[in-house]
Amino acid sequence: MFLLISPINNDEALESIEGGADIVDVKNPKEGSLGANFPWVIKNIREITPDNILVSATLGDVPYKPGTVSLAACGALNSGADYIKVGLYGTSNYNEALEVMENVVKTVKHENSKAIVVASGYADAHRVGAVSPWEIPKIAKDSGSDLAMLDTAVKDGKTLFDYLNIDDLEKFVDEIHSYGLKSALAGSVKKEQLKPLYDIGCDVVGVRGAACVGGDRNSGKIHRSAVAELKSLLNSFK
């Protein structure tokens, strides 16, 4: 299971890298769960990140505006991201989400066929009126995305496990794998929740809060010791 750590700037990116992150995921929590950061931040982080580590960029908790989102995807890709994450926040159903993702995939793959496109839904979609998490695997498959992900939309102390139990998450992962795609799970995931996610075959686990000093994704800062502890824990499961 790969460890994805979400820094907001160069300093945090370096801490993530030194701690052993497999994927450096550039985001901006001020703009939401999958808030987008600025192009120059993505570019700077790509420049300081070793070539063997993927750099991910979130496009934001996006609206149902396929053209706008596709343009954002192109911007993230040209800023150096290898891994493009789309938070399907403003799409209320399968058809809207599919339209957004199809156009993102077309945009990204035309520029770089090796880039990874992630369709990301929310375990707490009912709280924000977003497309159901159970639609995400099929949306990823039908759009040509590479990976399907779940996060939480509202960051109020609740975790992924407050909305879906381990059997639900295993069902989600199994469906994604049946399509030949990879899975990612995030949502204020805590250290003690890593083993259950590993056991169900999750491919990527996304973390910010647990990698921050004090465990706070907003006021805390990512530190290499916290990242290294998470990475060591994942390695112990093998």
Active-site annotation, residues: 27, 85
Residues in the chain, total: 238
**CB neighbours of residue 157 within 10 Å:** 8
Angle between helix 224-236 and helix 10-19 axes, rounded to 10 deg: 30
Q: How far apart are CA 216 and CA 208, in angstroms?
A: 8
Q: Give me the half-sphere count of Cα atoms (radius 13 Å) on the Cβ side of residue 132.
A: 7
DSSP H helices, the chain, are: 10-19, 39-48, 66-78, 94-111, 136-143, 166-178, 194-199, 224-236
By C-alpha distance, which of 237, 12, 165, 20 is closest to 4?
20
Q: Give me the half-sphere count of Cα atoms (radius 13 Å) on the Cβ side of residue 8.
A: 18
**CB neighbours of residue 50 within 10 Å:** 7
Backbone angles phi, psi at 147, to 5 degrees: -150, 145
Helix (H, G, I), strand (E, B) or coil at 63: coil
Direct distance between the N- and C-terminal alpha carbons of the chain, in angstroms, rounded to an integer = 9
